[in-house]
Chain A
Amino acid sequence: MENLWRDLQGIYVIWYRDVLRFLRNRARIISSLGQPLLFLFVFGSGLSPAMSRLGAGQLDFTAFLFPGIIAMAVLFTSVFSAVSIVWDREFGFLKEILVAPVSRTAVALGKIAGGSTVALFQGAIILLLAPLVGVHLSLGQIVVLFALMLLTAATMTSFGVLIAARMRSMEGFQMVMNFVLMPMFFLSGAFFPLRDVPLWMDILAQANPMTYGIDPIRQVTLQKSIPEAVLETIRLHPIVTDVAILAVIWLSLMVVAVWIFNRQE
């Protein structure tokens, strides 16, 4: 009982530190918005004419891209936050945490909670841009979107912690970026509907957790902006199915991340 209380406190401390560091670092908040915005407005505007057939001509490409960009912000922030474990290792702070009377499980869960919160913040900031791309959201939609972003963030942060638990240097992280994160982003349906794509791409996309984050986020975001029938043509699964699959992936990744984190010396 006492152990449980101590571990809850530990989770809270580690979560709080991540959030505090995030809020303090305004420069990082702004600079990390740069890339998503660039994608949204440059790709959005540039490709809109070419993509005019999208959704039987009733769906503007920028609006289509918008949910993908939200997910992108969530994905990158999640993984970056988790990988701060590697920085902490390099700069010594991780030792201070590991030698405290708090279980490794609490440390890993605190890190997942912290990264998810920070990623949720970033996603929410992008969400503020909805009116600029002609998407109107009701309060109900916003609440559901927050829940979906949080689930996506928790999944991706668990994935990040899983990688970071074994990583000893920042060089390794660059490799993960190039070989895992970028493909994950491009093969998630963020940029184009995953309908009528080659089989290899379909397989990779189905295996990609992000796919199940973006699909429901897009459906909820565009719910009120385009007709049901049009939405049918770009979605992959019903929202409930997406959420169920994503939740299973999240729990599995989290369990494995905690396990690996417990095993490190």
Chain B
Amino acid sequence: MNAIEVHDLVKKFGDFTAVDHISFDVRQGEIFGFLGPNGAGKTTTINILCTLLKPTAGTALVNGYDVLHHPYEVRQSIGLVFQDPSLDDQLTAEENLQFHAMLYGVSRRDYEQRSREVLELVGLSDRARSLVRTFSGGMKRRLEIARGLLHHPRVLFLDEPTLGLDPQTRRHIWDYVRALREREHITIFLTTHYLEEAEYADRIAIIDHGKIVALDTPSGLKRRIGGDVVRLQTAQNSEAMLRLRTNLQTDVLLDGNEIVLRVPQGDQIIPAIIRTLGAPPPIEVLSINLRHPTLDDVFIHLTGKAIREAEANTTEYMRQMMRVHRR
């Protein structure tokens, strides 16, 4: 059984189609990334999957339960970290966890143990009794992740878990997420518009204007746009190009004083390059550099615009600022 099965899902708000006939499956134990610019329909999809919104058409199963017909079973089996903060900041961290446990029917004895575990996991054990009001944005985010895990969900939804956080905290949260997958064997469905984060996922769906434009592993997506680029400078460029062409059977171009090779697997070709040029009489290599295509390149390739460009829009910017401030 897949953790999530979505078939031909549609969500309309009035005339506007926020989610436009999307279909995908998320396997059990997978980290599945939903990547797309602001307004692409990521949160709307999550809201449908967690039963907060009703789909206009199509079906969605979470842990085998239909979101329309078995909302309680779905809710009981998932954990959520919303895009916007959702803690009660007049209560302590512990009280927030306690309320959650009670809402999800976690027994008192299980609660004691679980709350200790999750607080430790996110590094907040020593702040359990502090009011959430006194927490920094990163701490609140970590507490929300801890809370989402408290009732042993089988799928954890993370809607932009690292939005507005500094790079160090972002890295921390990613460490937790990956440690989690190892320790708890849960499925993680996350959205982000940080391309570098999407690389942590096992598979990524790229969503734009409510449609899935690509779904593959990060490396698979990169392969689609045609491999790595190796650039090198040598003491005798024309001689070097000749040798590389005959020995490696790839396209070799000259760009200024650099030789450019376009290859499927850059890291494997470099030893071959060195061997070829090192054969007597050796040609001196002055510099060599390898560039993997980034998801940025993939995104531009697939949607025709850079992800940052797609969201460079003042209202969205304001919205984001406000969210960060409210953390």
Query: Which A residues are closer than 8 A to B by beta carbons?
Result: 3, 6, 9-10, 12-13, 16-17, 20-21, 24-25, 91-93, 95-103, 265
Contacts and interface: CB of A to CB of B under 8 A. Distances in A.
A92 B147 CA distance: 14
Interface of B: 50-54, 72-73, 75-76, 80, 82, 84-91, 95, 99-100, 102-105, 147, 326
A25 B52 contact: no
B52 A93 contact: no
Contact of B91 (A21, A98, A99): A21
A17 B103 CA distance: 11
A13 B52 CA distance: 20
Contacts of A10: 103
A3 B72 contact: yes
Q: Which 8 A-B pairs have the closest CB atoms?
A: A92-B86, A100-B103, A101-B75, A101-B76, A13-B102, A96-B86, A101-B72, A93-B88
A15 to B, nearest CB: 11
Contacts of A16: 99
B75 A265 contact: no
A17 B95 CA distance: 9
Nearest to A98: B52
Given A3-B72, A20-B95, A92-B87, A12 B52 contact: no
A99 B50 contact: yes
Contact of B85 (A91, A97, A103): A91
A91 B73 CA distance: 26
A93 B86 contact: yes
A93 B88 CA distance: 6
Contacts of A6: 72, 105
B54 A20 contact: no
A38 to B, nearest CB: 27
A91 B86 CA distance: 6
Nearest to A102: B103
Nearest to A17: B99
A258 B63 CA distance: 30
A93 B53 contact: no
Given A13-B99, A99-B80, A101-B104, A265 B86 contact: no
Contacts of B91: 17, 20-21
Residue among B72, B89, B100, B326 with max Cβ neighbours from chain A (10 Å): B72
A100 B75 contact: yes
A93 B103 contact: no
Contacts of B95: 20
Contact of A12 (B75, B87, B89, B102): B102
B88 A17 contact: yes
A98 B85 CA distance: 14
17 contacts: A6-B72, A9-B102, A13-B102, A17-B91, A25-B90, A91-B326, A92-B85, A95-B52, A95-B82, A96-B82, A99-B80, A100-B104, A101-B72, A101-B75, A101-B105, A102-B103, A265-B54
Q: Name which of B51, B52, B85, B88 has the most chain A CB atoms within 10 A of its CB.
A: B88
Contacts of A9: 102-103, 105
A10 B72 CA distance: 13
A17 B91 CA distance: 9
Contacts of A97: 103
A97 B75 CA distance: 11
A9 B91 CA distance: 19
A100 B100 CA distance: 8
A9 B51 CA distance: 20
* Most chain B Cβ neighbours within 10 Å, of A9, A10, A16, A101: A101
B52 A99 contact: yes
A13 B86 contact: no
Nearest to B50: A99
B65 to A, nearest CB: 11
A6 to B, nearest CB: 6
A66 B147 CA distance: 46
Contacts of A265: 52-54
A261 to B, nearest CB: 14
Contacts of A3: 72
Contacts of B100: 96, 100
A99 B102 contact: no
A13 B176 CA distance: 29
Given A20-B95, A101-B76, A91 B103 contact: no
Nearest to A88: B88
Contact of B84 (A17, A25, A92): A92
Contacts of A12: 102
Contacts of A95: 52, 82, 84, 86
B103 A24 contact: no
Contacts of A91: 85-86, 89, 326
Most B-side CB within 10 Å, residue of A10, A16, A100: A100
